Structure 1
């Protein structure tokens, strides 16, 4: 960065800035170890995500094992209530020993489950603390770069032309992009850890208010096709959920008149939400990857590559599911569910 900046700025200013080396040294110092810190954060989040996945898989396996033990115990209890003459036919059966062994097994499995949950909670806390620490360290050089570039442009306004102004604005654009990435990391790491007030939320009001605050072009048509339900939840997570899905539909739309529709339906056990767009679509080979952290299919605009990962994590927090249907150049439809037992108001 140092040699490139020096060559370009010196070329445009024709050596007109005496303290160019001092300026560039400050910028260079701001970038020091920057990429390595990002790599460390990404590796840490991936490792933690893998560990959390393994822990969840173990919990599921233990839960299935516990179901089997309970089923066996239920069978034996039922058999004990049968006619004594029938029970005597099982010559080698000792009901007391069997129940004792099953009880020991249940205690063992519950203990393992509790240990897994404790370890999982510790990993979540460690991940959140690490993300906040590294993100704070990363924001410091960003602020320095932004300040230096703006000072440089103000102090040398008479020497600035369209070309070098454009170059410096590009630097500021990338600084803003990095800041967006850091905010995305913080949001992702705090989905489960942050405490927010749970209350009855009318999604019609939430989505309508959200659209008023988002910077969306007038040529984009967004409509709610039916009356959305009320859910028990919190503003922070539900706004993040709808904002990221709507922003994704707007950002990756190549049509002259983008059309986005929001709708919902319900069954006995859950609500199903649908957000459709007429955008660029997603190739089938990538549809299973778009919810992974730091995955971007298009390098377009200020996108952190974390938005859909945040969406998935919020839906999993509410014990729901998410999937999509998409065709290239035609559009995409994202579906997600929230169980009534977990989110019905």
Structure 2
């Protein structure tokens, strides 16, 4: 029992009452109730302390989660800004200035739906383009066959006509026959060039190791090199991943151009490369006529020729560029008029 209360009660009791058993029982009951109250109070304090600690911990955890969400929302807002989406609006046209979590989630969900629809349209477009490309490829092969056959027949007939009548033909007639055969040959080269250009990237044999040095040596052994032209490889060319035929097309077109457009008495063509971390950089350099800078872009377009040359159809550099692009590289040139040109191209490793 509380000691102060116990002392006050005893002060007002006589000695007989203080010793009375019933009074003692009453006082014990009162004392017990105080003890129970104290125990319950202590338990309540303990419970409140535990609840307070749990609430503090839970509140701290919620605060951390809220802070983490704020960081995520800020990052997502930064992503939206970085995407340069301009003025953001909801579907009902309301401007989104400061996006909270819910608005941002709704916005991202909306954008995700739009992206999914755009991807479906893209897949459909790619499928249609693939179908059209296949049709164009088939059409190019068909036209190539249908045009080359009569051209060859025409060339044969003209040759027979010349053989049968060469004794009666004068120089003007012979020149006319030569011009006709020259144009027939040019037309066949043009058809072959169109066919080559249209099939680049659609008929790949697969990537494998190509000995570029050996491939270039084969080209030099097949093309006609005038006596006044010297071709030099500055070093042994490397092994790269690619297709031998396509790699040879690039070098053949660049080398033959360097030969055909060289006006020097002692023409020089230099072939070399440098190795970079992610790609090979090759070059074909000559000391020929050179090209004005205003034509640098034009010469890589199909059927573009800066001057008339026998056998030139204006497809060589465009074919080279398409192959280089297919390999993820670039092609460009440096040139000065009357001093020569250097064509560079890269192939990814």
TM-score, structure 1 as length reference: 0.70
Specify the structure having the higher radius of gyration (Cα): 2
Q: CA deviation at 1:291?
A: 0.8
Partner of 1:339: 348
Matches within 5 A, 1:161-310: 161-310=170-319
Structure 1, unmatched stretches of 5+, are 1-81, 341-345
Structure 2 residue 338 is the aligned partner of structure 1 residue 329: yes
1:188-221 residue CA offsets vs partner (Å, 9 max, x unmatched): 1111122324321111111112111112223211
1:38 counterpart residue number: none
Give 1:182 deviation, angstroms. 0.8
Shift of 1:87: 4.5
- Does structure 2 retain, via aligned residues, the 8 Å contact 1:202–1:229? yes
Is the Cα–Cα contact under 8 Å of residues 196 and 236 in structure 1 kept in the other structure? no
The match for 2:128 is 119
Q: Name the CA distance, whole Å, in 1 between partners of 2:187 and 2:156.
A: 15
2:101 corresponds, among 90, 93, 96, to 93
Q: Does 1:136 align with 2:117?
A: no
In the other structure, the counterpart of 1:13 is none
**Equivalent residues of 1:275, 1:333 under 8 A apart:** yes
Q: CA deviation at 1:104?
A: 2.8
Report the TM-score, using the length of structure 2 for normalisation: 0.69
Q: Corresponding residue for 2:326?
A: 317
Pairwise CA RMSD:
2.2
Report the Cα distance in structure 2 between the residues aligned to 1:88 and 1:337, rounded to whole angstroms: 47
Greater displacement, 249-258 / 221-230: 221-230
Tell which has more relative contact order, 1 or 2 (C-alpha 8 A, sep 6+).
1
- Distance in 2, matches of 1:206 and 1:88, equals 60
Alignment partners' CA distance in 2, 1:218 and 1:176: 25
For structure 2, the residue ranges without an aligned partner over 5 or more in a row are 1-62, 74-98
Quote the offset at 1:332 in angstroms. Answer: 0.8
Query: In the alignment, does 2:64 pair up with 1:83?
Result: yes
Q: 3-state DSSP class of the match of 2:232?
A: strand
